[in-house]
A and B are shown apart, each in its own frame.
Chain A
Amino acid sequence: MSETVSGVVFLAFAFATIGGAVMMLATRNVVHAAFWLLEVMLATAGLYLLLSAEFLALVQVLVYAGSVAVLVLFTIMLTLRRREDAIRPYEPGWAAAILATLFGAAVLFAVERFASQLPPGTMPASVPDLALFGQTLFTAWAVPFEIASLVLLVALVGAVWWSGGDGS
């Protein structure tokens, strides 16, 4: 990737991300919402590419756009009795909208307020390479890595245990 991120590319990915999130919340069909979530995850992978995090972009596509989207779609299909049940009633949630708007405005204000303490505007030219990423992950972060694999194993067993039918 180039050292400088062009504003046009960033704006395209930002529009895809936020527009997809808005559409996911605006559509009343749960299946359509799952596909909009998939689109948001793919646009986020593009943002990771802009930030020269190629490995994370690949993991994002594999884990979120692949497994999580399929898992969500399977759950939707398993928990719908009729095709019409995918259409949800209209739920504006005005109180939640006000709260989320206030929260977002507060965070944006804080980011703007402390902008002078952030690192300077342009991206550093030095790009960390993938080999260094792997080396760091398996030396300095080896113990957290093993704990993360244990977390995944426990989550796997727990998910099978909870969703398995006849055992209970």
Chain B
Amino acid sequence: MTLLQPVGLLSFMALSAVLFSLGLYGALSRKSAVMVLMSLELMANAININLVAISRFSAPAELTGQIFAVFSMVVSAAEIGLGLALVIALYRQRKTVEIDSMQELKG
């Protein structure tokens, strides 16, 4: 890809893959519940970029990808709201937001 040429779908998909991997790394490695939720938002963001880019390049008149991206945003907004409510509930009970403190179900 040279600098002044139009960008193809491949660049957007590669960007989305890198962003998703970074979010995956954050979600698996952090021990603060808030950081895990923020990494999940990063992954949802990568998915949305992919949906919009593929919709724009393959069938722009039908807008299906954009509408899916809207629904995906709704679900991830609900997810972050409920997740942060859970973090606050955990903090009330334990006075900490470390994921390591949630291990009642550990075998």
Binding site for B on A (CB under 8 A): 4-8, 10-11, 14, 17-18, 21-22, 24-25, 30, 33-34, 37, 40-41, 44, 47-48, 50-53, 55-56, 59-60, 63-64, 67-68, 71-72, 75-76, 78-79, 81, 88, 91-93, 95-97, 99-101, 103-104, 107-108, 111-112, 115, 118-119, 121-124, 126-128, 132-133, 136-137, 141, 144, 148, 151-152, 154-156, 158-160, 162-163, 165
Contact residues in A for B13 (Cβ distance below 8 Å): 111, 118
Q: Which of B8, B25, B37, B86 interacts with A96 by CB under 8 Å?
A: B25
Contact residues in B for A97 (Cβ distance below 8 Å): 25, 29
| A152 lies within 8 A of B85 (CB) | no
Complex-state Cα separation, A55 to B2, whole angstroms: 30
Return 22 A-B CB contacts under 8 Å, by A number.
A17-B19, A18-B18, A21-B42, A24-B26, A30-B35, A47-B49, A51-B53, A53-B66, A56-B69, A64-B73, A93-B28, A96-B25, A99-B25, A119-B9, A122-B6, A124-B60, A137-B70, A148-B70, A148-B74, A148-B75, A155-B77, A162-B85
**Which secondary structure dominates where chain A touches chain B?**
helix
Which 6 residue pairs across A and B have the least CB separation, nearest first?
Answer: A93-B29, A104-B21, A155-B78, A100-B25, A96-B28, A96-B29
New A-B contacts (20) at CB < 8 Å, excluding given A56-B70, A119-B9, A133-B66:
A6-B6, A7-B1, A7-B7, A33-B38, A34-B38, A51-B53, A53-B66, A71-B84, A99-B24, A101-B21, A118-B13, A118-B57, A119-B57, A123-B57, A128-B60, A128-B66, A132-B63, A159-B82, A162-B85, A162-B86
| A25 lies within 8 A of B22 (CB) | yes
Is B105 an interface position by the 8 A CB rule?
no
Q: Which of B49, B61, B78 interacts with A126 by CB under 8 Å?
A: B61
The answer to whether residues A78 and B88 also contact, given A101-B21, A126-B61 and a CB cut-off of 8 A, is yes
| B89 lies within 8 A of A163 (CB) | yes
Closest chain-B Cβ to A1's Cβ sits at a distance in Å of 11
Closest partner residue, chain B, to A151 (CB atom): B78
Q: Which of A22, A68, A124 interacts with B80 by CB under 8 Å?
A: A68
Closest chain-B Cβ to A51's Cβ sits at a distance in Å of 5
| A53 lies within 8 A of B19 (CB) | no
